[in-house]
């Protein structure tokens, strides 16, 4: 059985969880508290999660690699190389979008909200407009 290691929050493992659900692929969702993660960290590739364990024991780290692997496994990855590249382009752009917000997740609440509002009025807004342009093209 596949085992997906992450925290209970959606974050960087949510696309993987959605791929499992859409593909109707059984898996174990291994979640960590902050304390459990600190104890497990040294045994993880790159010392981070998400981590995907395959049924044969192989391990795959890095959310984008996990997402692409599971998209293929669940039938979501286009067979046509151009269409697959287009899907990757959009996924990587959205990864950049999410990364804009990551520092704000570790700020005090009032500071976090102010930083997120600033992003939505500036850089994040620009990223969404760029995405809208790309996905509206035939």
User: Which residues are within 8 A (CB) of 32 and not within 5 positions of it... i.e. 6 or more apart?
Assistant: 5, 6, 7, 40, 49
Sorted by where each begins, the domain ranges of the chain are 2-73, 81-135
Q: Cβ of 85: how many Cβ atoms within 10 Å? A: 10
* Tens of pLDDT, residues 3-43: 999 999 988 999 999 999 999 999 999 999 999 999 999 99
pTM of the predicted model as reported, rounded to 2 decimal places: 0.83
* 137 pLDDT higher than 90: no
* Tens of pLDDT, residues 76-101: 999 999 999 999 999 999 999 999 99
Over pLDDT 70: what percentage of the chain?
Answer: 100
Average pLDDT across the chain, whole number: 95
Q: Which fold has domain 2-73?
A: Glutaredoxin (3.40.30)
- How, if at all, do strands 27-32 and 2-7 pair? parallel
Q: So what's the pLDDT on residue 10?
A: 86
Average pLDDT over residues 62-67: 96
First to last CA, the chain: 39
């Amino acid at each position: 059985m596949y085992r997906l290691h992450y925290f209970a929050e959606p974050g960087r493992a949510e696309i993987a969880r959605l791929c499992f659900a859409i593909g109707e692929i059984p898996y174990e969702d291994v979640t960590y508290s902050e304390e459990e993660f600190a104890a497990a960290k040294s045994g993880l590739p790159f010392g981070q999660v998400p981590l995907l364990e395959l049924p044969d024991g192989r391990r795959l780290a890095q959310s984008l690699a996990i997402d692409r692997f599971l998209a293929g496994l669940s039938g979501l990855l286009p067979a046509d190389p151009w269409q697959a590249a287009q899907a990757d382009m959009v996924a990587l752009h959205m990864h950049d979008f999410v990364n804009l917000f990551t520092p704000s997740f570790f700020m005090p609440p009032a500071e976090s909200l102010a930083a997120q509002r600033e992003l939505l009025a500036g850089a994040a807004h620009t990223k969404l407009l760029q995405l809208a342009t790309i996905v509206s093209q035939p």
